[in-house]
Amino acid sequence: MAAHVLVVATVTATSDDLMAALEERVRRASVPVDFLLVMPASGPDPATMRPRLEEALERWRGAGLKVEGELGDSDPVNAVAAVCRPGRFDEVIVSTLPGQTSRWLRSDVPYRIGALTDLPVTHVVALSMARPAPHGEPLPRREREPLGLLNVMAYRGVHPR
């Protein structure tokens, strides 16, 4: 007997946060855990995702996880619907980018997958993949002074209607 966990991730499939969550899931299990990574395609040609999927599977197996992988539909909910049959999985783990950088969070993917599958869903946020704040040079000094109040009031440009 083993626990069967469906994992949905694309960009975050090799993130340290997801790896930690998977390893924690194995540690707290009283039975072996089998993972299926479904990687929704991003782009018009799903075959371009194959190297990313293979990289993730290699990393997971290197960490001692028992995992298989599949490329799925570009819509993560449809990708899950294609592989999730009743009784096949015990739970789902959805890994996303943090906050507003995540399209999946903006379209409420973790909740929608939970409603579709009627399984417990764990949402992992890959904070380690957050974009760092830009470190650049300060903006150059303005050559002209900003418009003053009278200049703004005197503007007679064309206004769109």
Per-residue pLDDT of the chain (161 residues; tens, 9 = 90+): 899 999 999 999 999 999 999 999 999 998 999 999 999 998 777 778 899 999 999 999 999 999 999 999 999 999 999 999 999 999 999 999 998 888 999 999 999 999 999 999 999 999 877 655 555 566 566 566 555 555 544 445 555 55
26 assigned to some structural domain = yes
Assign residue 13 the CATH number of its domain. 3.40.50.620
Q: Quick check: is 8 in a domain?
A: yes
In the 8-state DSSP scheme, what is residue 159? P
Q: Is residue 145 part of a domain?
A: no
SS3 4: strand
Q: Which pLDDT does position 124 carry in this prediction? A: 95
Query: Distance between CA atoms of 123 and 73, rounded to whole angstroms?
Result: 20
Residue 41 belongs to domain spanning? 3-129
When divided into structural domains, the chain yields a total of 1
Q: Decide if 39 is inside a domain.
A: yes
Assigned domain for 148 exists? no
Can you give the pLDDT at residue 139?
Answer: 55
* 101 within some domain: yes
Query: Nearest-CA neighbor of 119 among 40, 60, 36?
Result: 36
Q: Is residue 149 part of a domain?
A: no
The length of the chain in residues reads: 161
Q: Tell me, what's the pLDDT at 47?
A: 76
> Is residue 17 included in any domain, yes or no?
yes
Write down the pTM of the prediction: 0.79
